[in-house]
Amino acid sequence: MLENRALEIVIVALVVLVLFGAKRLPDSARALGRSLRILKAETRALHDEPPADPTEPAAPDTSAAADPATPLRSAVPEGPVAQHADTPREKPAHTT
């Protein structure tokens, strides 16, 4: 059973070597290591964060949409809007 596993590892290593090449393999491994370190640090930070207390009230919404006294501005402009005139382009004279 162990010999089959070793053969699979060798085959995968050869495929990776052929795909990436000997020159790019160290850089790829280094980048993968950095990515794994960052991922590990972020997951550790998530676990270390204290959970939010559900009994605490949420912070009040201070946006303009939450205040009924503030009128909302329309997305449509009130005044006239300049239009782009589609004028047909002149065809260049064909010279032979």
Alpha helical stretches, state H, 1-96: 2-48
The one-digit pLDDT tens for each residue of the chain (96 residues) are 556 788 898 899 888 888 888 888 888 889 999 999 999 999 999 888 776 666 665 665 565 555 556 666 666 667 776 666 665 666 666 666
Looking from the CA of 40 toward its CB, the CA atoms found within 13 Å total 6
pLDDT tens digits along 35-52: 999 999 999 998 887 766
Computed over its alpha carbons, how large is the radius of gyration of the chain? 32
pTM for this entry? 0.37
Task: Determine contact, residues 16/25, Cβ cutoff 8 Å.
Answer: yes
The beta strand positions in 1-96, using DSSP E, are: none
